[in-house]
Amino acid sequence: MSEAAVHVIDDDDGVRDSLSFLLDCSGIATRTYSSAAQFLAALPGIAPGCIITDVRMPDMTGLELLDELKRRGLDTPVIVVTGHADVPMAIQALHAGVADFIEKPFSDEAILVAVRAALARQQDRSELEAERSQIVARLATLSGREREVMDGLVEGKANKVIAFELDISARTVEVYRANAMTKMQARTLSELVRMAMIARIG
């Protein structure tokens, strides 16, 4: 996976350069774009991370960009900055799902705090999605009966109850349970339940 980066989108050269300089000096990789269209043209080959975008830009605003990212199924954290902030715009941005909303002029600390928080959230999401993919792949290796037994276990049912519902012996349930635990790489029932919950995310 590529190194996480902050994607700075602003039609103001000075703002782009100052943000890029600030983040680079803080050890955070950056990519800059003069418009939302230029950023979208770089997809999907961009590095993961977060986005800093101005609200008021020609052709496509920051909020319109957020809508387009959602339409494409991307959940990259977006930090919106603007020199024309007002309460309705802030509310609109927050309802649209931005990670943060910062008014110009902003302090270096405010940007760095927002960026680090957004990158941490994105890293957590990326790790969860990677784990979910592994769990889904393991689920695909289960036989139909093993999956039925696993579903019963996840619902908190005892072996005897599962056996009755599936019309098989309790001993057979134990065999399927052991097979499911091995294939799912779960050491305990609680691990198996956690995996089932993660698999249902998304």
Q: pLDDT > 90: what percent of the chain?
A: 45
Q: Is 141-199 assigned to CATH 1.10.3720.10?
A: no
pLDDT at res. 1? 41
Per-residue pLDDT, averaged over 18-31, amounts to 93
**Which architecture characterizes domain 5-127 according to CATH?**
3-Layer(aba) Sandwich (3.40)
Winning range, highest mean pLDDT, from 44-48, 69-73, 91-95:
69-73
Estimate the crossing angle of helix 189-199 against helix 108-139, to 10 degrees. Answer: 110
pLDDT at res. 58? 83
The token pair at 62 is 């920051």
Q: What is the pTM of this model?
A: 0.62
- Residue 141 falls in which region: left (phi positive, over 0), alpha (psi -120 to 50) or beta: alpha
pLDDT exceeds 90 at position 83: no
Domain boundaries defined on the chain: 5-127, 141-199
pLDDT at res. 90? 65
Q: pLDDT > 70: what percent of the chain?
A: 94
